[in-house]
Chains A and B, each alone.
Chain A
């Protein structure tokens, strides 16, 4: 095994161990907390705030097109409550916009 192969294996192993530890320790940590009051509110809000933080910069980077697509998706969810349909509309708006407008 050459040096580069060994380094590669160390990187893969290192990142794998850290990532798995993060996944498990988050769950274990929240399990050890008392699930009432402030902690409950914090954890209850976590899924939505995480998702929002994940997508907001991406939407804005897409510019006007991203905002239009987001409005269409929200309207579609409100009207039909169908995630697959909303996803298709979002992709359609962005796909068409990138090819024909920009």
Chain B
């Protein structure tokens, strides 16, 4: 229990390589689009959500559309509502203060690693938080490096580094498999996400796929009762 912070920190180091690859690109693009270094660091610390930071960089220009950027970034981060909802089982014994303190450093990566671990081991929210601190370090170091080195960094996607996080997520999905009843909802999630990715702009497909998959599980359960 006491080592949960450290264990969470360590467990996120493998996926940290992938985050670092992303981070270096994010830093490089930030400097190119005229974002100041301190602005990027503020985003790293206070927004702490890579995909929305990429979107902000993309929409950054000489005249900033404040409302437009905030709305677009919020749409991308809508999935954090579902991620928060799924973390309920981890926080059952926690106080409100703990919830408010630990939830900020929740990203896709440490959330996924925590959910994978939660399946076969009893852990506390400190595991999640330790992972978040690990990612906060990696994200800052890699984006700052990318920002300073700029064009000197060669494309990390050439070495398949960007596929590391996809690989880890696939492995984690595998550990969540509990039997044939899972297959139908999983298939629904997969199909809906792929179809809505083609139809809707932005990252709405993540939320739509997840809701469709989980709803189909509810319906399928009703049928078997």
Q: Chain A interface (Cβ within 8 Å of chain B)?
A: 4, 7-8, 10-16, 18-20, 22-31, 35, 38, 41-60, 62, 66, 69-70, 73-74, 77-78, 83-84, 86-87, 89-96, 98-99
Contacts and interface: CB of A to CB of B under 8 A. Distances in A.
Interface in B59-89: 62-64, 66, 69-70, 73-74, 77-89
A24 B14 contact: no
Contacts of A28: 84, 99
A10 B155 CA distance: 32
A93 B213 CA distance: 29
A52 B99 CA distance: 26
Nearest to A49: B213
B221 A41 contact: yes
A27 B116 CA distance: 18
B197 interface: yes
Nearest to A57: B197
18 contacts: A8-B64, A18-B77, A19-B73, A20-B104, A23-B81, A27-B91, A31-B91, A42-B215, A45-B182, A46-B86, A48-B186, A49-B209, A54-B169, A57-B193, A86-B167, A86-B170, A91-B164, A94-B163
Across the A-B interface, the 10 shortest Cβ-Cβ residue pairs? A26-B84, A53-B209, A90-B167, A95-B160, A49-B213, A53-B193, A30-B85, A94-B160, A26-B81, A49-B189
A49 B214 contact: yes
A19 B47 contact: yes
Contacts of B32: none
Given A53-B205, A90-B163, A43 B80 contact: no
A15 B171 contact: no
B163 A62 contact: yes
Interface string B190-225: 101110010000000111111111110110011000
